[in-house]
Structure 1
Amino acid sequence: MAKAFRPNKEWWTPKELAEANLPGLPTSERRILERAKRFAWRTHARLARRRTGKGGGWEYHWTLLPEVAQARLLAQARKPAAAPATEPVDRTEAWAFYEQQTEKHREVARMRLEAIQMVETLAPHVGKDHAVREVARLRKCSYRAIWTWLALVEGIRLDDRLAYLIPRYSRAGNRGTKASFSQDFWEFLKSDYLRPSGPNFRACYRRALRVAEAEGWETAGERTMRRHLERDVSELTMILHREGSEALKRRFPSQTRDRLSLEAMEAVNADYHRFDVFVRWPLDDGSGGFEIVRPQMVAFQDIYSGRILSWRIDRTPNKVGVSLALGDMIERFGIPERIVLDNGREFANKFLTGGVPTRFRFKVKDDDIPGVLVQLGINVHWATPYSGQSKPIERAFRDLCEDIAKDPRFEGAYTGNRPDAKPENYGSRAIALEEFIRIVSEGIEEHNARGGRRGQTTMGRSILETFEESYRRAPIRKATAEQRRLWLMGAEGVNAHAKTGLIKFMGNEYWSAWMHEIAGQKVVARFDPADLRAGLQLYRLDGTFLGQAACKLAAGFFDLEEARAHKSAQRRWMKAEKEAAEAARRFDAAKLGEFLDGAAPPDGAPTEPLEAKVVSLPRARPLEAPRVQPAPMSHEERAAREAFVADFNARKAERQRPTEDEDDPRFFFRRALEMEARQEAGEPLTRDQERWLSSYQQTPEYRAQKRIHEDLGSGFEGGGSGAAG
């Protein structure tokens, strides 16, 4: 920005004006004095003054001269012998500087422009000098200031004048000497302040002074160093060092997503919410007792309208509640195209999202069971961890915290939303589970039906009206009867027994007659979590439905009726299998023999018996040696023979002793006891023995045998066949 114009000579004597030969002025000193007297130059207190120095007299300011003389002086002032100290400011830079100034400075620039416009309006009628004086009187400002403003905009475009008239105050003369300090002192103070613990600046400054005194560093005042810190270290740098990356991330504006491009049930999102209410949750042991919990609710929400579509309540987040809530939503409204899920284990599990390539927690394996969402063709999106902005349902949960948790019917059971915000009557009451579910259901319905919503898609309507208006025209995929089995039952990869096909799952046994087809195979078992005795729906790993496996209830150890029923079922099954086997074989062995007898001999087989062409001579039999009667044994020889026979029989009996049955559970338990005894005695085991013993000790069989052994004592070890004496 160019500085205000200052002529090389502001004050002129009559002699100097005569010698300057300026246009509009006489060239003699006498005539100059006459002109000054005629126009009363000396009456202007600030533009005429007595000359100090030798000779005395009067001198006059250059602004009293005629306009043509002023123009000549200005032109001469713009042609200095040396290069100008500063270059004229470009209009782009001038406007950039204008934008950086405060509104107070902009108001000053507008006032200056108005004064210049008034001067330019009056100048053609009364002269520029008189116009400047009149405007200065009206605006109550300095006469010379207006001439300075005129100089600032001389040669400037009319539309750019405002940018050149804004004040450019120089503070260099008011600051004095800049404070100096050691760089090491500054670095120590800055490093101490920029720590995650967030220390106070004054404490950091005191520590820096203490170190500076020991190290001999040059210091400066606390206020000076604070200003230096605020000027040289950005606020974002301070936030990153003192508060962390998450605090810095919050300074970045959140993304605004356009919901108008969606339709109802095109995209949904789900999450868990813990209510700030104490609830009496019944125990599962049948004792009639209860425990005090804060229930958790999983809810599915339509992203377009914000409607809560389905929800389930449980003690803790789990995949069973998620699957049931998902089934409720699909049963009533249909299958969505996309779903946004949290990265918790209740959502990121193989039952729901098995086979999704971009899941947050797990890798995709070749034998992964396809999850429910994958088989339904729903595109899964994972929300950013610890980012509530990526899940719109968080906004609905905030309303539920205010409207439901603080319901008057929950007074005394409300816990507060923070540990330091507990109400005075905290813990004085707990709500029954049935009443809690009823009030939550009522609150969710009110949340959906409340009018006057100001959302992007609601536009003053209720969430329910917005959803229904779009749902009527949206293409919705409905679920078939076969698909309903996917979400109403869980899925686990289980192995069928290698011989019978029996499946043991969650403490129950499941088997049907057709399951010999899957013996030794790994299958997918889907079940109703609320009724495990209803049986299993079995699928192949590729999703092909196999059939239903009935639940075999465990019978009492001495339950005769159950034993008879089991035996009867076994006989019926054996009979059915025998009939099926006989039906598969049409001809018995005798019939097969008849067919073979009546068949023609094989090609090339001889029809007549062959005669031998070579006859061998009979071999002579060797002569038998005459039998010799054995000599009678002595008493010692007979005793030795009897001892040999007895020893031989003992060895034979030892070899024929029945071996231990490896199918007997006690066989492995005795082996484990022997290895444990060897370990206690300090004898080393091989690596295979240690690995077998460690894995066997984790089995239920070992724990059961261990309890029996502790109850019955050492006599238990010798029971059964093949037991050591």
Structure 2
Amino acid sequence: MTTPVSPKQEWWSVAELAAARLPGIPGTARGVTAKADREGWRDVPGAIKRKVGRGGGLLYHWSVLPLAARTKLIKHDASRPVEKLDRNSAWAAYAALPQKSKDEAARRLDAITKVELLHTSGAGHVHAVDTIAAEIGSSARTIYNWIDLIAGVAPEDRLAFVAPKAPKKRTQQADRAAYQPFMDWLKSAWLRPERPTFAQCYRMAERQAGQMGWPIPIEKTAKRWVDAEVLRTTQVYLREGVNGLMRCYPAQIRDRSGLHALEAVNADCHKIDVFVEWPDGTINRPQIVAFQDLYSGKFLSWRVDHDPNKVMVMAAFGELVDNWGIPKRCLFDNGREFANKWMTAGAPTRFRFKVREDDPIGVLPLLGIDMHWANPGHGQAKPIERAFRDLASDVAKDVRFAGAYVGNRPDAKPENYGSRAIKAAEFLEVLAEGIAEHNARTGRRSDTAKGRSFDETFAESYATAPIIKATEEQRHLWLMGQADGKLHKDSGKLTLHGNVYHCDWMSQEAGRKVIIRFDPEDLHSGVHLSALDGQYLGFAECQQKVGFFDLDGARSTARRNRQIVKAEKVLAELQRPIPVEQLAADMTNSAPSPSEALADLEAKVVKPVFRKPTAVTTFRDHMDPAAERAQEALILQMSASPSARPEPQHIGFLVADSPEERFRQAEDIAQRQRQGKPVGEAEAGWLEGFLEHAEYKAYSAIFGDFGSNNAG
């Protein structure tokens, strides 16, 4: 027996049946209602139900329709593609909504459920919708819209379909294209290593847009578009570089459980924040170099010096191998003190210093130790950095170092900064105690320690680990520094750091290039010489101990000499504050020309200016006519030859004959004016004109330079 095929729409209202124009069905709602009453559609069990939605009414099942009408419905639906509600898309959209929208979907579904419950209990549909609308504080039209959203949806999927839709983008892609020139300029200005603020770049883009005529979005919208178009990691990379990009991803979690004690070590230098006074009187912050076991985290060896150098690295490495054994791998910082030729020459991954063919092979390649280099400026790559942070802080803030602590940043200096410097011997003693306490402290939470101390973790693994001990011949490699040199062409002697080394066999090797191995802490103990291919030649004793007894002393003295020379240069510059070039330029600018040297006396005197006149005028602009006539007569009198000069005339007062007397007469009138004594109109007019005359200026200069007793 086949299952009867049903049309897509199973329930029909009176209006829908009238509009469908089905065979045997009237074309009006009144006709359909009359036909239903005549044929008893309401009496068929399960063939009638109330309409859910606004307006109410009855719905009839398609099975009560005439056969011709049912056949047409089935054929019509079979010819149309079946439209299915995509429940997967609905639920995917629901999952992407914020919690606020999901809460709203639950509220809507609860309202619809209450409406259906009231309607099932016998209440009218319209009354049920109005009641729930009033309860939830919404309109009936809103609830009708919610009911339409779930029409034909299975009850288990209603929540996804009734949920609010995600808001559409307020700006269409086509509309945003008009802002593309502005956005390109803005993004280019903002995504720079200088890391300008977005507001600053937006203002600059606005100015550019004003010149080019580009449309401008508001700043908030522009920032939202940039964030949508450019990934955050890309923004960080373009503005902060590789280091900033690495901070966007979690640090690698290294599993040390697969290692064993002394299988791998890492080393680094660290400056201790304490002022230390060294035996030579130098006061500075000391540097510590330490080797740490990667499996346990224990400090295995360490050395202290003024600054990082290959001597302290070699000494610390020698202590490591001497006390514990030869590690298989070493993780080094990329500093020059670790990449020195004594340690690493010949390693394929070493990219420091100039590589020469006759370079002697370093200690680590000779011992078969694999080297790994940490990324520069990436502290996460070196586990010892974390240990230094705790150790250095505990040691520097030890109560015995009160007054010598300098702070871990320039802006974190304590109040008693610089009040004390610790003696080197005392510092080394406290540092040794700090390292021992650091290794012995229990409660470590690493994967290998599991609550134990570093000492306990290392000891447990060291007892069962395959440790390689060094032979006496290998011991010479790390206890001695190395250098290349050449024996004297005649005697075969070797000179190193001022000391002379020689043995009888060296006379046979005169002029030969050799590899020199020596104890950096005792240069007077002799050297071991090898050929460039590594063949051991022999030992040479120190014949003339004129140089330093250790390499560190040579370095200290060389550093002291450099400081002395630097200080002398500063003192010399203090004694010569003006550079020679400036002196030459000043001389060139101040040298007078030949014409200036022959100028009149008035050109050699700088005229003081006591007040600035309000307007540029001459004394004729405001001179009394009588005084002007007297001045003109005086000028004619002084310019005439002695034989033709007339007798002095009385122009209200008597003008002196000689230039010196006229000068003194002018000074007397000027003094009376300053003292407020009576001065005649003619005298004042003559004085004003005479003060501008070259004769007065010349005598004024002479009296000012040599005194009035030398005039005449």
TM (normalized to structure 2)?
0.62
Residue identity in the other structure for 1:460:
G
Shift of 1:305: 0.8
SS in 2 for 1:187: helix
Secondary structure of the structure 2 residue equivalent to 1:360: coil
Give the drift of 1:360: 2.2
Q: Distance in 2 between matches of 1:377 and 1:220?
A: 65
- Go from structure 1 to structure 2 and tell me whether the alpha carbon gap of 1:81 and 1:167 turns closer, same or farther (over 3 Å shift): farther
- Rounded to whole Å, the distance in 2 between the matches of 1:213 and 1:387 is 45
The offset of 1:152, in angstroms, is: 6.7
Q: Deviations over 1:572-602 (max 9, x none)?
A: xxxxxxxxxxxxxxxxxxxxxxxxxxxxxxx
Report the counterpart of residue 240 of structure 1 in structure 2.
Answer: 237
CA distance in 2 between partners of 1:438 and 1:412 (Å): 18
Query: 1:280 maps to which residue?
Result: 277
Distance in 2 between residues matched to 1:251 and 1:492, nearest whole Å: 45
Q: Deviations over 1:160-197 (max 9, x none)?
A: x4894473514349889967854333322222222322
Offset, 1:393: 0.8
Please list the CA deviations of residues 541-562 of structure 1 after superposition, one character each: whole Å capped at 9, or x if unmatched: 3333332211112689xxxxxx
Matched, 1:451 2:442: yes
Q: Distance in 2 between matches of 1:219 and 1:552?
A: 85
One-letter amino acid matched to 2:411: D
User: Residue type of the partner of 1:342?
Assistant: D
Indicate conservation of the 8 Å contact 2:290/2:303, yes or no. yes
Mapped partners of 1:190, 1:27: distance in 2: 68
Q: Does 1:314 align with 2:305?
A: yes
Q: Which amino acid aligns with 1:187?
A: D
Aligned counterpart in structure 1 of residue 423 of structure 2, from 423, 432, 457:
432
Determine the C-alpha separation between the residues in 1 that align with 2:470 and 2:115.
83
Query: How is 1:69-148 mapped onto 2 (pairs within 5 angstroms)?
Result: 89=86, 91=88, 96-106=92-102, 144=144, 147-148=147-148
Q: Does 234-243 or 306-315 show the bigger shift?
A: 234-243
Query: For residues 311 and 538 of structure 1, what CA distance do their matches in structure 2 show?
Result: 28
How many Å separate the matches in 1 of 2:365 and 2:16? 102
Structure 1 residues 555 and 203 mapped into 2: Cα distance closer, same or farther (>3 Å)? closer
What is the distance in 1 between the residues matched to 2:459 and 2:290?
19
Q: Answer whether contact 1:17 1:32 (CA < 8 A) is retained.
A: no
Match of 1:544 among 535, 538, 544: 535
Partner of 2:405: 414
Return the match for 1:249 from 246, 249, 253: 246
Q: In the alignment, residue 254 of structure 2 is paired with which amino acid?
A: R
CA–CA distance in structure 2, aligned partners of residues 99 and 187 of structure 1 = 34
Secondary structure of the 2:396 match is coil
Aligned CA RMSD, in angstroms, stands at: 4.7
Matched, 1:553 2:547: no
Counterpart residue identity of residue 400, structure 1: L
The answer (yes or no) to whether the contact 1:277–1:405 under 8 Å persists in 2 is: yes
The structure 2 residue matched to 1:339, chosen from 326, 330, 338, is: 330
Cα 1:331–1:117 shift into 2, 3 Å? farther
- The alpha-carbon deviation at position 273 of structure 1 amounts to 0.6
Change (3 A) 1:375 1:267: same
Secondary structure at the counterpart of residue 278 of structure 2: strand
Assess if the C-alpha contact under 8 Å between 2:51 and 2:59 holds in 1.
Answer: no
* Preserved contact between residue 115 and residue 132 of structure 2 (Cα < 8 Å): no
Against the structure 1 CA distance between its residues 304 and 100, is the aligned structure 2 distance closer, same or farther, given a 3 Å change threshold? farther
The alpha-carbon deviation at position 126 of structure 1 amounts to 8.1
Residues 181 and 218, structure 1, Cα contact 8 Å, conserved in 2: yes
Query: Which of 481, 487, 496 is the aligned partner of 1:490?
Result: 481
Q: Does 1:348 align with 2:346?
A: no
Q: 1:570-719 alignment to 2 at 5 Å?
A: none
Equivalent residue of 2:464, what SS? Answer: coil
Distance 1:145 1:351, change over 3 A: same
The aligned amino acid for 2:229 is: D
Q: Is the 8 A contact 1:326 1:487 kept in 2?
A: yes
Aligned residues: 512
User: CA offsets, 1:265-286, max 9 Å, x none?
Assistant: 0000111111111111222xxx
Q: Is residue 28 of structure 1 aligned with residue 33 of structure 2?
A: yes
Corresponding residue SS for 2:282: strand
SS of 2:274's equivalent?
A: coil
| C-alpha distance in structure 2 between counterparts of 1:137 and 1:468, whole Å | 76
**Residue identity opposite 1:169 in structure 2:** K
Contact 1:152–1:164 under 8 Å retained in 2: no
The aligned amino acid for 2:98 is: T
CA displacement 1:273-313 (0-9 Å, x = unmatched): 11111111222xxxxxx121111000000111111110000
**Which position in structure 2 is the counterpart of 1:192?**
189
Aligned partner letter, 1:437: L
Provide the C-alpha distance between the structure 2 equivalents of 1:103 and 1:320, rounded to a whole number of angstroms. Answer: 64
SS in 2 for 1:282: coil
* Residue in structure 1 matched with residue 688 of structure 2 by the alignment: none
Q: 1:236 to 1:80 in 2, by over 3 A?
A: farther
Provide structure 2 residue ranges, at least 5 long, that are not aligned to the other structure. 1-8, 43-49, 548-712
- For the structure 1 residues 115 and 80, does the alpha-carbon distance in structure 2 shift closer, same or farther, using more than 3 Å as the test? farther
Aligned match for 2:498, one of 481, 484, 507? 507
Counterpart of 1:487, as a letter, is W
Match of residue 470 from structure 1 = 461
Give the letter aligned to residue 424 of structure 2.
Answer: L
| 1:387 and 2:378 correspond | yes
1:424 shift after superposition: 2.5
1:507-546 Cα offsets, whole Å, 9 max, x none, are 0100112222432222222212221111112223333333
Aligned partner of 1:171 among 158, 161, 167: 167
Structure 1 residue identity aligned to 2:477: L
8 A contact 1:180–1:219 mirrored in 2: no
User: What residue number does 2:690 align with?
Assistant: none
Q: Are 1:522 and 2:513 matched, yes or no?
A: yes
Distance in 2 between residues matched to 1:80 and 1:428, nearest whole Å:
99
**CA shift at 1:348, angstroms?**
0.8
Query: C-alpha displacement at 1:336, in angstroms?
Result: 0.4
Are residues 393 and 322 of structure 1, via their aligned partners in 2, closer, same or farther at CA, if it must alter by over 3 Å?
same
**Separation in structure 2 between the aligned mates of residue 172 and residue 555 of structure 1, nearest angstrom:** 88
Matched residue, 1:603: none
Gapped runs of 5+ residues in structure 1?
Answer: 1-6, 37-43, 49-59, 284-289, 557-725
Q: Does 1:531 align with 2:517?
A: no
Match of 2:285 among 263, 285, 294: 294
| Alignment CA distance shift 1:555-1:173 (3 Å) | closer
Verify: 1:268 aligned to 2:273, yes or no.
no
Deviation at 1:147, TM superposition (A): 4.4
Percent of aligned positions with the same letter in both sequences? 45
Offset of residue 208 of structure 1: 2.6
In structure 2, distance between residues paired with 1:327 and 1:367 = 24
| Distance change (3 Å), C-alpha of 1:201 and 1:494 | same
Equivalent pair of 2:206/2:216 in contact (CA under 8 Å): yes
In structure 1, C-alpha distance between the alignment counterparts of 2:514 and 2:95, rounded to whole Å: 71
Please state whether the residue corresponding to 1:253 is helix, strand or coil: coil
1:461 aligned partner, one-letter code = R
Q: Which amino acid aligns with 1:481?
A: E
With the length of structure 1 as denominator, give the TM-score of the two structures.
0.61
Aligned residue in 1 for 2:648: none
The answer on whether the counterparts of 1:413 and 1:429 sit within 8 Å (CA) in structure 2 is yes
SS in 1 for 2:529: strand
